[in-house]
Every structure is written in C-alpha cells, then in structure tokens.
Amino acid sequence: MQNIDAIMSYFRTTLGGGTTVSEARIREIVEGGPFDLTMESREQMIRELEASFNITQLKGAAVTGDKYFPWLEDRKPDIEFFFWNRLKRYYIETGELPPHVINTLDQVTDQVLDWCGDPQSPEPRWLKRGMVMGHVQSGKTTNYSALISKATDAGYEIIILLAGLTNSLRSQTQERIDETFIGKRSVFEDIAAIDLPIQVYGPEIRYAAYGTTRLQDFTITRAGSWGISLAQIKGPMIFVTKKNKSVLEGLASWLRQQNPGDLIDHPLLLIDDEADNGSINTRNDPTRATAINEAIRSILAMFSRSSYVGYTATPFANIFIDPDSEDEMIGNDLFPHNFIKVLDPPSNYAGATKIFDEDGELRETMVREVEDFGDLLPLTHKKDDPLDALPKSMETAIRVFVLTRAIRVLRGNGGKHASMMINVSRFNDVQEKVEGLVYSYLNEVKDAIKTNAGRGADGLKDEILRNLKNDYD
C-alpha cells in the first residue's frame, strides 16, 4: 500500500508554505508528480489539497493595557527560532494545519508573545497577565503549543502548563506537548528516548526538559530523585500539571527550595488552560483566596519575571475578577491587566452556532432529531433508572461511524484523528450503562464482520451485515 501521508507531504512541500495556491497549480503538481497513482487517488489528493489551501482564518481582535512596550520585532533577528521553526515545518509538511491557518497562528502568537514580557529585559522585576479567548475545539491547544515554542526560543526558561482538573485531561495534554514541543515520549528513567515524529522536522535532535510525564503529575518525591536543580538545567523545562491543591503546593514548595528567600531569576511563562475552571477566586471574603487560585498566584510571585496567559472559550468569570485585588504574600489576582486576545476560528470551523442555531448553515445537513429513545431512556430520568438496550438510531450511528472509519483507512488516512462522542445523560451512572451497551453492540458488529464479510451474498443473511450494507447504500 502506498504511503499516502508521505506523498501528500511531498506535494505540500512542492507547493510551498505560501498561503495562496491556485487550483490549476495544484492539479499541475499532482498530475506531474513522480508517483504511480490511480486516477481516483489523484483526484482525491487534489480535492484535499484544494480544501486545505482554501481554508482561511482572520487574526481576531485584541485589547491591550497602557503599559505595553513592544520588544519582539527588535529582538527577532537575534533569536534562534528552533522550537517554533520545527513545529511550523511539522504542521506544513504533515498537513496538520492548512497554510492560511499556520500563517495566522504565526502572526497571532507573535502578538501574544510580544504582550508578554521580554525574558531578556534588563528590568529587574515584572509580571504580565493576559487572556486568550477561543471557540470550543477550535485550536486553543495548537495556539499555546506554538506560544510555548516561541517563548522558549525567545528566552523563557520555565514553562508551567495547567491542564484541567483531571488526571486524564492532564495526561492527554502532556502527550500533545510531547508531540509538539518536548520531542520524545516523556517518561522518567527511560532507558532509551523514544523520539516522536516532530524530530524529523528540526535541523538537529533536541529535547525540552520536563518535570512531569504522560504517567505522572508533579511530586516532590520524584523531583528529589532527579538530583538536579533549576540552576543545572540547560534550555527550557516544562511542567504539565493539573489544577490540584496538593500538586500545585508541591510544585511551589520545590520551586521555593531552588532559591530560598530570593526571587527565582528564570523567566516563567504560566499557561492556564480552561482558565475559568478552578482558577477563579470564588470566596466571598476578598481578603482570602481559594486553594488553587492562591497556589497559582504564589507560584507567579516567586519569580522576578513572570507572564500568566489564561486560555478559555468562556471568559465571563475572568473579566469580572477585581483588577485591584492584591495580597502581600501571593501577589496580584489573575485579572488580565495587560491584554485580552480574541481568536477567530478558521473558515472550516463547525461550531455550535453553525450546527444547532435555527439558522445555522449546517443544521439541515448535520442535525438528526430522533424519537425512538423515549421508552428506553426518557429525556427526564434519574441516575438509577434502568437501561437495557440502545435505541435503533444509536445502533445505526455506531455502524455509520464504523463505515466512515473504514473508508478513511482505505484512503490512507487511518492515522488521522476520528472520534464518536455519545452523551445522552448528565448522570455518570447512566453514561456507564450506555458505555457497556455500546461496547457489547460494537463487539457484535465486529463478530458479524469477521464471520460473514467474506461470504458474499450469503453473508447478507446476517442482520448486522445487511444493516451495514443498507447504511452504506
């Protein structure tokens, strides 16, 4: 089987990293390429490249404070953009992002980094606070991955990324950072580094140091076993932690040990993902802080130079933080004093408004209202209500997902992300029952395919296989 990803990478590289390529030019490059492709494969690649080069994204809007002093443009000629150039090339050549979107990502993250403080500024002490607003599932993780890469190239030495409230979300975010920034699987005491694909796109093999792994959040015990200090670290070091009182207090304690009694002189960039969740001080008494809010502010206050950037799609709580709240021990609250940046989604973004709004352009083609669930699980139900079967509409949805997955695998896109989310209840107990039923049905589908798919017309005597054919038709 031909390596479709490698062939597409060749065509993207040949077309260049520019943002405007005509359809005629794309067809010329693909049809004149050195690969023995079927007409169907050629046309499919042309369609994908056309779609990619036609996706656009605006830079969005911004509000900045009155103490903004630009610095990035003057320093750019002297910065070795190793991590950012490696990430940019990875995005371009793998087709992870369309060229227009990469161009906008580059410009927007330049803006955000410029609003953050210059890590090499002679000013003895400063702190910056800002916020980036995006849409749900529209590339916030991509944005802060690029910001982390540029910030470390510019001289930020310590990166702390707060990745939600759960272990699973933290681990998932760590994996993304491994893939886009660290450059290898983050595992403590690994016998041999397992390099990740991004290493291919840099001029040399280079890793970022890490204080957390895919399997483990920060602990003082683990930090003690490294036998190192911040002073010994060459290059950037990143911690991907969850918003948990004991984890953040442990990290604060370890950092305090690095420079007892004095401010830490390594520039810090602290990125707060889902900044409206867990980070806000919700106490009625303004002189006291909630545990996570206090821990974040305490860590920021330990550094002579620190920048806090909160990312969220729901910024309402953040903009109502008292901008004048300050504490002698834990410093300023997290109000975005210095900047607020609003990200526009790319033109192919399909968000809630497009799909669910009465006038949404995708509502007619994407929304299917079903009515066969009422006897099994009414809309209004309790967490201990019985659930013995899936509605036929959900079984159909599962089979259609299996079919579309198979089509993508056959087209050579099997490694691309694809997921199906089932959310039918606000109760975990009900969701777990649904999960069990889905697992059972999916195994029935697998067994039917293994047993009957090779039997031709006789295989269609099996009900599931017959349904799969009807779904496909």
Q: Quick: pLDDT tens for 16-57.
A: 755 567 878 888 888 888 888 888 888 888 888 877 777 776
Which of helix, strand or coil describes residue 116?
coil
Split at pLDDT 50, 70, 90, the class of 329 is: low
Question: Given phi > 0 = left and psi -120 to 50 = alpha, else beta, which region is 352?
Answer: alpha
Give the pair of three-digit tokens for residue 396: 């159909």
Provide mean pLDDT across the span 276-302.
84
d(CA 309, CA 338): 10
Predicted pLDDT of residue 17? 56
Predicted pLDDT of residue 19? 56
d(CA 405, CA 97): 21
Identify the CA nearest to 231 among candidates 209, 207, 202, 204.
209
Given a cut of 90, is residue 446 above it in pLDDT? yes
Question: Over the stretch 109-163, which tens digit does the pLDDT of each residue have?
Answer: 999 999 999 999 888 888 999 999 987 666 889 999 999 999 999 999 999 999 9
Predicted pLDDT of residue 8? 82
Question: Over the stretch 200-225, which tens digit does the pLDDT of each residue have?
Answer: 999 999 999 999 999 999 988 887 77
Given a cut of 90, is residue 344 above it in pLDDT? no
Crossing angle of helices 140-154/99-115, nearest 10°?
Answer: 60
Identify the CA nearest to 270 among candidates 404, 163, 403, 418.
163
Provide mean pLDDT across the span 365-369.
87
Q: How do strand 326-327 and strand 305-312 relate by DSSP bridges? A: unpaired
Given a cut of 90, is residue 356 above it in pLDDT? no
Predicted pLDDT of residue 238? 95
Predicted pLDDT of residue 326? 66
- How confident is the prediction for the chain on average, in pLDDT? 88
The more confident residue out of 408 and 259 is: 408
Percent of the chain residues topping a pLDDT of 70: 94
d(CA 261, CA 257): 9
Predicted pLDDT of residue 438? 97
Given a cut of 90, is residue 437 above it in pLDDT? yes
Given a cut of 70, is residue 384 above it in pLDDT? yes
With beta carbons less than 8 A apart as the criterion, state whether 263 and 126 touch: no
Lowest mean pLDDT among 43-57, 254-268, 292-306, 403-417: 43-57
Given a cut of 60, is residue 328 above it in pLDDT? no
Predicted pLDDT of residue 53? 75
Predicted pLDDT of residue 358? 87
With beta carbons less than 8 A apart as the criterion, state whether 181 and 88 touch: no
Predicted pLDDT of residue 285? 72
Q: Which residues, in sequence order, are CB contacts of 74 under 8 Å at separation 6+? A: none
The more confident residue out of 451 and 7 is: 451
d(CA 75, CA 445): 59
d(CA 284, CA 77): 49
Crossing angle of helices 428-452/463-472, nearest 10°?
Answer: 100
Greatest pairwise CA separation for the chain in angstroms: 79
| Lookup result for tokens 């009807």 | 470
Identify the CA nearest to 210 among candidates 218, 202, 199.
218
Question: Over the stretch 331-340, which tens digit does the pLDDT of each residue have?
Answer: 677 888 899 9
SS3 track for 270-321: EEEECCCCCCCCCCCCCCCCCHHHHHHHHHHHCECEEEEEEEECCCHHHHCC
Identify the CA nearest to 28 among candidates 53, 3, 16, 46.
46
Question: Among 49-53, 307-311, 357-361, which range has the highest average pLDDT?
Answer: 307-311
The amino acid at 330: I
Split at pLDDT 50, 70, 90, the class of 69 is: confident
Percent of the chain residues topping a pLDDT of 90: 52
With beta carbons less than 8 A apart as the criterion, state whether 208 and 199 touch: no
